[in-house]
Structure formats: C-alpha cells, structure tokens
Structure 1
Amino acid sequence: MSQKLRSQQWFGKKGKDGFIYRAWMKNQGVPDHEFAGKPVIGICNTWSELTPCNAHFRELAQSVKNGIYEAGGFPVEFPVMSLGETLMKPTAMLYRNLASMDVEESIRANPLDGVVLLCGCDKTTPSLVMGACSVDIPSIVVSGGPMLTGKYEGKDIGTSDIWRFSEANRMGTMSDEALSLSEACMCRSRGHCAVMGTASTMACMVESLGLTLPTNAAIPAADSRRKVLAHLSGMRIVDMVKEDLKPSDILTREAFENAIKVNAAIGGSTNFVLHLLAIAGRIGIDLNLDDIDRLSADIPLLANLQPSGQYFMEDFYYAGGVPVITQMLGEQLQNCITANGKGIRENAKEACCYNEQVISSLDKPFKPQSGIAVLKGNLCENGAIIKPSAASASLMQHTGKAVVFEDIEDYKARIDDPDLDVDEDSILVLKNVGPVGYPGMPEVGNMGLPKKMLEKGLVDMVRISDGRMSGTGFGTVILHVSPEAAAGGVLGLVRQGDIIELDVPGRSLQLKVSEEELQRRRSEQKPNHPEFDRGYVRLYQQYVEQAHLGADMAFLRGKSGSKVSRDSH
C-alpha cells in the first residue's frame, strides 16, 4: 500500500527533499515509523472563537485523532478559513467560495491521503465539501452538532424565536431586559442552531448524500455520542483510503436526488438549494432548479421541526434522526453507497422512530406541502424559490401592489415610517441584495413587516428579493430571484405600486407590466450597487454566478484533482 499512498510522494522520498519533509515534521515529536507508509489523514478544522458554533472543534478533533491512531493512520490537523454566520460582515456567504478555495489548495498542496472535514456553522459545511470535492481524495464529514434546546420562562425556544422576539420587542410587548435574558436561555450549550436552520440542514444534507457515518446530522454537540461518532469517523477514513473510496464515488446523480428528497421531508433551509447546486458543479453532476422542484414536489413534511413545525434538533435525534427519515422514504431513495461502504437504505434498515410527534409516516405527514418550490415568470426568468412548509397557506396565491425598497439601507430607513404606502395585501420587494448587488447575497429576504402592519395584527406578508433568508426564518418569502437586480434582472425594474401576481401551485411569479414599459424602464436604468476595485470582493463580483447556478465562481466548476502542479521543494 505504501507505494500507492499520495503522502509517500513527500515522506517516502530519499535525499534532500525527503530529509526536509520528515525532519521538520519531527520537531513536533513525531517518531520515524509514522512516515513508513501509514495513511496520512488531514483533519480540516474550522475551529474559531469567532465562529461560536464551531468553538468546541479542538476537542472534537482530538476524538477524530484518537480514531485515526487506533486504525493505524497518521493524523495531522490543519486550519482553514472559518465562516461564523453570526459575526461576519457583510455576510458569511460572500466568503463561502473563498473558504472553499482555501480548503482545496490546502488539501492538494500537502501530503494527505484522506481528509476529515470538521464543520458545523452554516457555510463551513458547503465550503469544506466544495473544496474536498475539487481535489477528490477520500473524505468524510463530521458535523459539530446542534445546541441543546433553549429554555425560557418554562418554554422550549430556538433560533427561530429570534424573529418572534424581535417583532415583540418592536411592538413593545417584550422589554429590552426580557430580550437580553432570552439570549443566554437560547444559546445555553455548545453547537449550532437548535432548529432545522441552515446548519442542521447542511448536516442532514451531507448525511443524505452519504458523506458521513449514519446519525451524524442530529447528535447534539453536548452529547458524548458526538465524540464517539468523531472517533469512529477517524477510524473509518483510514479504511476509506485503503479502499480508495472518494467523493466522486459517493456523490453520484442518484445521491443528489436522495438529498433533495430528504431535504423536502425534513423541511430544510432554502439555502440548501445554493449549496447543493454548488457542490454538484464542483463534482461534475448536472443539476438544476427544475430537478429540485420536481424531486421535492411529491414529498410531504415528515419532520415536525422549527421553523416549519414545533420541535427541535435535540428531539429529532432522540426520535431517530435522518436514518428514520430515510427508512420512511423507502424505495423513493436510491440505495447509494455511503462513507461506511454500505448503501444508504441498508444503513437505515434497523432504524426505529421513537416519537411519532416528531417524525411522522408518509401516510400521516405533518404537512402535505414541503420541499422547495421553484417559481418562474417575467420577474424571475431563471427562477426564484419559496419554502411552502414555512409559508402561509392563504398567501400561496396572491396578487398585490409592490412596496419597493431599492436596497437594504432604503428598507431600514423606511420600513417603520408611519407614512409608508402599504396595506395588508401589499407585496414587499427588496432589490440589490443578490450575489453581485450586495455583494454576497445576505440573509435579509425575510424582511420584518412594517410596524403599522404589525400594529394591525398582521403576522405575514408576501416578500420578494434577490437575497437569501436564514434557515431559521419563516413566512411567505420568495428568494434567490434570478437574474438579480444588479445583473439586469426585471426585479431591478419594479416600481412602487406595480401589480405582482404570485401563484405557488402554478409555479409562477409575474410582474403585471407590459414588455414595452419594461424596455422603457430598462433604458433609463442606472447601476445601483457598490462596485469594488481590489481584493477578493472584486474577484467575487467579476466571477460569481447567479443564484440559479449556486452562486459559485465560474472558474471553480469541475474537479481539479489531487496532482500538485510542481513536484520539487
């Protein structure tokens, strides 16, 4: 096996180069026999105290190392850019592609035979998977796990309650002191969001794709079984190297179809769409919005989890987690190979549902509508998306007058203006928050409602933007409008008072303005977004693709392989 190991191109060399490769590693106390043909396993760690969701990863990495040592491998931990959703400005999404490049180049440039991807917070999972797919050496994902369920005034709470608490505070029904107290009550343990937000959606995505061991997605971060899974993953990656089981072997077209169906059944985040499309682009699978709409359409909501339902990720784990969802979907899923070498349906064969209030069956689902619905029309020529399970049924077919905000600053300045021209049937439209226009496509699509509407008791309105929303968010929110306003999309031409017609069952989103009038407006249109002239952000604006393609960089599509461009020291 030693002649086949990629790491032996470094550590197996004789002469000056081999001396340098081994000697400097030995200053860490590595004995000579570690270099004698053992699989070298990288632990790609997104630990950072600026990424609170991942702040326990140094400890988790040690469990991975223990497993690698037990299986006869040589573990080496290395850092990559960590994307903290709660702190990074202007938005962590701006840096997803940059982090993926960091991961790709770090793996390729170093003597690694396999890699364990430690990820948790929203963008850390897709960025690590995108980077690893590009190199395509044996890889396994270990997620950090969700927080324990929050407890506040005798009630269970999670991240989705932020939006409710914020609206209550704006209305004066929740004091600043109570809001402050709820902060510690909500985030009371290590881990990422306790609901089926983007972080947990990503953990479920990689498990349903087959990139993890079974049960990875839902084990709480504070549960000792999270460390056990990390240990077992460390052991498994050594065998994956011996078997040469690579991401390209696991990430088949059928695996992506499985992930889409599982995402529908769990009521996963709308961000799933962007990240799955980007991963597919890296591994070379032809996947598009129509596939996501088609494959989601007949899958009901089986997981009763916030924000689409009632319960939390902790409850989901105790009820049986993703393996139970897999078992419930049965033959609707292909039995694709997973990281443990077995088929995904085979892994779920012994799964058992322990709480039917949390995970339902196909014949008695929590909601008949789930998944991601893809809309088309003159307002979104290349598509827009909505999450029906988190929306209001009464607004699924709706016509109203547009209340237009030209950018996020305009929205913040006017949303609570008592003179805002808005009524109960209005449709809020936010422009220039797409990939190029912001730049980075922030999670501002689930706009807070105008204060004057909240005072009337309104809890939802149709909202449309070229941006994203947090996976913890909810409401009748149309997102990812493509082309975005800054790329010349019709969204940029919408004016105050225009009539917009939404028909989710008919998959349609139409601006009721004539083509002649749109052409006239287009001739008068002036750019209304910032343009950067240096650094990564300039590169991003020049090469980022639109939302319907996954918002990756155009030059990063397709695998690049593990070969180093120059083989000398």
Structure 2
Amino acid sequence: MRSSTLVNGLDRAGMRAHLNAIGLISREFSQPFIGIVNSWNEMHPGHAHLQRLSQEVKNGVRMAGGVPFEFNTIAVCDGLAQGHVGMCFSLPSREIIADSIEVMVEAQRYDGLVFIGGCDKIVPGMLMALARLNLPAVFLPAGPMLPGRYQGRELAIYEVREAVGKVHKGEMTEEGLAELEEIICPSYGSCAMMGTANTMSCVAEGLGLALPGSSTTHAVFSRKLREAKQSGLEVVRLVQENIRPSEILTEKSFHNALRLSMALGGSSNLLLHIPAIAHEVGITLTADDIELISRSTPHLCDIKPSGRYVMKDLDEAGGVPAVMKELGNELLYLDAPTVNGRSWGEIVSTVANKNPQVIRTRDNAVHEHGSLAILKGNLAPEGAVVKQTAVAPSMRRHRGPARVFDSQEEAVETILAGRISPGDVLVIRYEGPKGGPGMRELLAVTSVLMGMGLGENTALITDGRFSGATRGPCVGHVAPEAAAGGLIAILQDGDMINIDIPGRELNVDLSMEVIKERFEKWSPKMPKVNSSYLSRYSRLVESVARGAVLKKEW
C-alpha cells in the first residue's frame, strides 16, 4: 500500500510518531489509509450538511478495516456568486479543487479516497482529481435539496430569480417575492432541478464512480447516510482488490455518461466538464462527439428548469438506474463496470421505472434528440452550445439584429430599462475563460429576460456560459472567444445574426472585407478583475472547446 511509505521501516519513526500524536495505534499502521475529501462549507446550502455524511463514510471505512482521514477543499456556491464579480472565480475554482486534492493525496500517501461534493464546480473538480490520481475511489453525491412549494406548485431556485423580472413588470408584488424567497429553498442540498450540480452528480453515477441511485437521493433523506456508510465500505474493498478509476473510466463509460446526460436534459456546462474529466485519463472528447451522441439520444426526463418535474420526482421514479434501463443496451454499454462491483447490466436488471410520466420510454420521449446542440459557423468555428430542449419551437430558427454588450451588467441594465425589443439578439462578450476572466455564468441576464417576458422572442449569444437553470434561446460557449480574437469581438449593433438550431449553424451577415476592416481597428479589452490568480488563469486556460483546462506549460 502507498501508506507503507509513511509507516514501514526503522527510518519512518518520525512519521509514526506524528500519527501516534493524532491517536493512531500500531495496529492501524497496517490498515488502508483512506482520505475523505470533504467540501463542507458553512456558507453553502449544497455543502453545509457534509460533516454528518463524512462521519458516516468514516464509520463505513472503519467497519471494513480501514483508517479514515478527513480533509477539506474549497466550495464556491454559484448561487451566491451570481450577478457580480465573484462569478469570475467560480469556473477557475475547479482547477484549484483538483490541484489542492492532488497536493494533499500525493503528499500524505493515501491508499484510497472518498470524495463528498454536490455543486457546480466542486463535482467536476473532484472527478478530475479522482481521474488524475487513479487511486481506488468512490464519489458520494451530496444530494439535491427538497423543492420549494408555493401556491400549490413545486419550485426550484431559478423561479425566484425570474420573479424579479415579474416584479419589474408589475406582474408580482414585492411582498409576493419576499414570500417566495422564504420558501423556495426549504432544506440543505443542491438546487432542486437538473442544473449543473445535479447534472454532474448524475454524470458521476453514469460514469460508474458513485453508488447506483445515489445522485438523486436527497440531502435530507436517511438513505443518504446509508449511502455514505456504504461508500466507506466499498472504498476499502476497492483498495483490497486494487481496482482503480482507470478500469472504470473508459471510452464506454464516458459514452454512457453522455447518453445519460442527454436523456436527462442535462446542463450545457457538461460541455466544459466531461471533456476536462476525460482529459485527465487521456481520452479526447470534443463538441462534435457530444453533438453526435445528442443527435442519437432521446430526451426522456422533463425536469426543471425547462420541464415540469423536480429532482424529487426523478428520484421517486427510480433515478439514474431507471433512466439507464430505459436507454437500454441499444444505446448504452451495459457491460461497463461500477464502483459497487456490478456492471450496469446487472444493476438495471434489478430496477424498474416507477413513473413513466417522469422517466419516459424511448417511444414516448419528450424530444427526439438530446438536450444539447452544437452550433458552428463564422461566429463559432470551434463551436457554441445551446440547450435545445429548453427553446420554444418558434425560436429554434431566428434571425435578428445584434444588441452588443461587453458585460452582463450592461445587458441587465438595458433589459430592465425596457430598451430591448422582441426579435433582438443580445450579444454579451468578454465573458469567456480568458476575457472574463473565468467565464461567468450569465444567469442574472437570462433570468431577467424570462421574467420580463422576452424569453420566447429574444435570443442571446455569448462567449460566456449559462447556469444549468437557464432556459430559452440562449447560445453560449462561443469559441473562439472575444479576448482570443473571435469574430464575436467585432460585432456591432444592428449586425444581422442567424441562429439555426435544427441546421446547427450560428452566423453573422458580414463580408470578409468588413471583417478585415473591423479587425484592423480592434484590440482586446482589459480583464474586468484585477486578481493575481485570475491573471495566471487567463494566461494558461485553453479554449472552452477543449474544456477550459489549463495548459501544463507557461
């Protein structure tokens, strides 16, 4: 075991003395050392409950004959970072999470790992570290929160943000908004919808890295405590049998996870995160790969923010295993292994779809194709992404004049002032990984668009990204971004933008002569944030088309 580096041999007396100081006895020196990577955070509803889960993981580790050691990593709450400069730090936190875990694990020589996390950048950051370190490991999803209930309807967090626009329009009172604020987040957990947090937890399960069913088990359910204990038991078995992530994270498992995401109606942010995780094990996944899978995967689950149901409904219907069962061996590699020692074929043979209204059959799909569409054209030669299942049929093809903004704040101010007309195409640039820096989620602007009644007649394109809560004709991840000299950098008000989702095209009506003339006068804008870390990040970050991973060389 790796931990023998710390405890075996006469010259390791100093290390053993340090371990004695924290209460270990000699018998434990021969047992597997298990790192419990916890993203517990007092200011984060998705992670405030993780100390109890960690305790149950440790109980499971000890039951199986291992020695648990808990340590923490950072956890940014995207819900708190929305709409201000703090969002510039969210995506870059993914790299810090992965790197900080690598530092601890390599320095302290754990034999196996359990990762506990549940929100937007924490899950992919942990999965990147899990793949990179290639030690026996289990991922434990922190679990969704219960939905809010207002006037007889079950709601998720994005609906309170959209309500702000309704207040501005006079369709809702400030008192009604205050009441909604009080009840919409009734428990700990990740937001009660198929946003980025729950998409990526489901991805972890689809990859085979989490216990079956665990990604939809809600944070406040006692079942989550039992899953925590079982995760501790499983990781010791994985160490004893020397089963590593490289045996689970294969091309088959990434194929399965992408199929699952498209069937669930997953967040557009998976276009950033799944390629980054695959990159850690030497597998290249491109936007074209994701487009190919999306085109051939039916959308089976009508989950908020674009659908009718909440995560609790998905869990009660059977969760990820039931979705995998509906996809079947025609679309999945059911021989792919999982951390509980069973293949997906063995798992789905024992489950049932308990609610075909929530998890549709393939012959009764919500949409024929998966949730994401990759658009290309002169505005996005490397690609752009839209959550096509969240776009009204009337907006799937749209041509309109550009209204150009160099930040989200400028766009929000203009929308709230009533200066956007139906048919306009909002263009928000310098929000990419380099130009933001940090590629902010633009949930503030998309929520206001929906709340102001512009969600089905106004389009938006950006080199930034969207929250998993975003719905409507919103095209993000435009690459190359403005700061890298993409065509989006020289757009002007009135330029005619053509969005064709069925045709997978994104173009602007500009001649080569005009493009050349504008670029001769162009120079990139300075980043919005003066930050030591973000300055380094901006220099090292790759294109969003490659998962916004960091270059290994300066």
TM over 0.5: yes
Tell me, yes or no, if the aligned pair for 1:163 and 1:473 is still in contact at 8 Å.
no
Q: Residues 379-434 of structure 1: CA distance to partner in whole angstroms, max 9, x if unpaired?
A: 0010000111111111111111111112223223433334x3x4322111111111
Tell me, yes or no, if the aligned pair for 2:156 and 2:305 is still in contact at 8 Å.
no
Q: Paired residue for 1:113?
A: 111
Distance 1:435 1:426 in 2: 25
SS at match of 1:500: strand
Tell me, yes or no, if the aligned pair for 2:378 and 2:506 is still in contact at 8 Å.
yes
Q: Paired residue for 2:19?
A: 25
How far residue 456 of structure 1 moved from its aligned partner, in angstroms, is 7.2
Tell me, yes or no, if the aligned pair for 2:57 and 2:230 is still in contact at 8 Å.
yes
Distance 1:162 1:67, change over 3 A: same
Q: Quick one: which amino acid aligns to residue 241 of structure 1?
A: V
Residues 1:294 and 2:292 aligned together? yes
Q: Paired residue for 1:495?
A: 492
2:477 to 480, 485, 502: 480
Tell me, yes or no, if the aligned pair for 1:195 and 1:306 is still in contact at 8 Å.
yes
Q: Residues 243-275 of structure 1: CA distance to partner in whole angstroms, max 9, x if unpaired?
A: 211111111111111111100000011111101
Corresponding residue pairs, total:
547
Distance 2:304 2:528 in 1: 38
Q: Equivalences for 1:350-369 in 2 at 5 Å? A: 350-369=350-369
SS at match of 1:87: helix
Q: Quick one: which amino acid aligns to residue 543 of structure 2?
A: Q
Q: Paired residue for 1:563?
A: none
SS at match of 2:469: coil
Tell me, yes or no, if the aligned pair for 1:83 and 1:96 is still in contact at 8 Å.
no
SS at match of 1:415: helix
Q: Paired residue for 2:246?
A: 248
Q: Paired residue for 2:50?
A: 57
401-410 or 43-52, which deviates more: 401-410
How far residue 97 of structure 1 moved from its aligned partner, in angstroms, is 1.0
2:271 to 269, 273, 276: 273
Distance 1:349 1:543 in 2: 46
75-84 or 116-125, which deviates more: 75-84
Q: Equivalences for 1:49-448 in 2 at 5 Å? A: 49-88=42-81, 89-91=86-88, 92-331=90-329, 332-334=331-333, 335-418=335-418, 420=419, 422-444=420-442, 447-448=445-446
225-234 or 102-111, which deviates more: 102-111
Tell me, yes or no, if the aligned pair for 2:263 and 2:299 is still in contact at 8 Å.
yes
Distance 2:318 2:165 in 1: 34
Distance 1:13 1:556, change over 3 A: farther
Q: Paired residue for 1:45?
A: 38
Distance 1:77 1:278 in 2: 26
SS at match of 2:552: helix
How far residue 354 of structure 1 moved from its aligned partner, in angstroms, is 1.1
Q: Quick one: which amino acid aligns to residue 268 of structure 1?
A: G
407-416 or 387-396, which deviates more: 407-416
SS at match of 2:542: coil
Distance 1:554 1:118, change over 3 A: same
Distance 1:469 1:113, change over 3 A: same
Tell me, yes or no, if the aligned pair for 1:415 and 1:449 is still in contact at 8 Å.
no
Structure 1 residues not aligned, in runs of 5+: 558-569
Tell me, yes or no, if the aligned pair for 1:209 and 1:259 is still in contact at 8 Å.
yes
Q: CA RMSD of the aligned region, Å? A: 1.9
Tell me, yes or no, if the aligned pair for 1:392 and 1:460 is still in contact at 8 Å.
no
Q: Quick one: which amino acid aligns to residue 543 of structure 1?
A: L
TM-score (norm 1): 0.93
206-215 or 98-107, which deviates more: 98-107
Q: Quick one: which amino acid aligns to residue 303 of structure 1?
A: C
Distance 1:449 1:72, change over 3 A: closer
Distance 1:488 1:318, change over 3 A: same
Distance 2:286 2:328 in 1: 24
Distance 1:370 1:166, change over 3 A: farther
Structure 2 residues not aligned, in runs of 5+: none
How far residue 150 of structure 1 moved from its aligned partner, in angstroms, is 1.0
SS at match of 1:502: strand
Q: Residues 202-228 of structure 1: CA distance to partner in whole angstroms, max 9, x if unpaired?
A: 110000011111001100100000011
Q: Quick one: which amino acid aligns to residue 333 of structure 1?
A: L
SS at match of 2:385: strand
SS at match of 1:178: helix
Tell me, yes or no, if the aligned pair for 1:385 and 1:480 is still in contact at 8 Å.
yes
Q: Paired residue for 2:520?
A: 523
1:504 to 480, 501, 504: 501
Q: Quick one: which amino acid aligns to residue 372 of structure 1?
A: L
Q: Residues 422-464 of structure 1: CA distance to partner in whole angstroms, max 9, x if unpaired?
A: 432211111111111111111116734888x977776442110
Tell me, yes or no, if the aligned pair for 1:282 and 1:556 is still in contact at 8 Å.
no
Distance 2:171 2:206 in 1: 42
Tell me, yes or no, if the aligned pair for 2:118 and 2:143 is still in contact at 8 Å.
yes
Distance 2:64 2:240 in 1: 11
Tell me, yes or no, if the aligned pair for 2:116 and 2:141 is still in contact at 8 Å.
yes
Tell me, yes or no, if the aligned pair for 1:446 and 1:477 is still in contact at 8 Å.
no
113-122 or 530-539, which deviates more: 530-539
1:13 to 4, 9, 12: 9
How far residue 372 of structure 1 moved from its aligned partner, in angstroms, is 1.2
How far residue 556 of structure 1 moved from its aligned partner, in angstroms, is 8.5
How far residue 301 of structure 1 moved from its aligned partner, in angstroms, is 1.4
Distance 2:295 2:444 in 1: 23
Q: Paired residue for 1:562?
A: none
Distance 2:230 2:179 in 1: 38
Give % identity: 36
How far residue 532 of structure 1 moved from its aligned partner, in angstroms, is 6.8
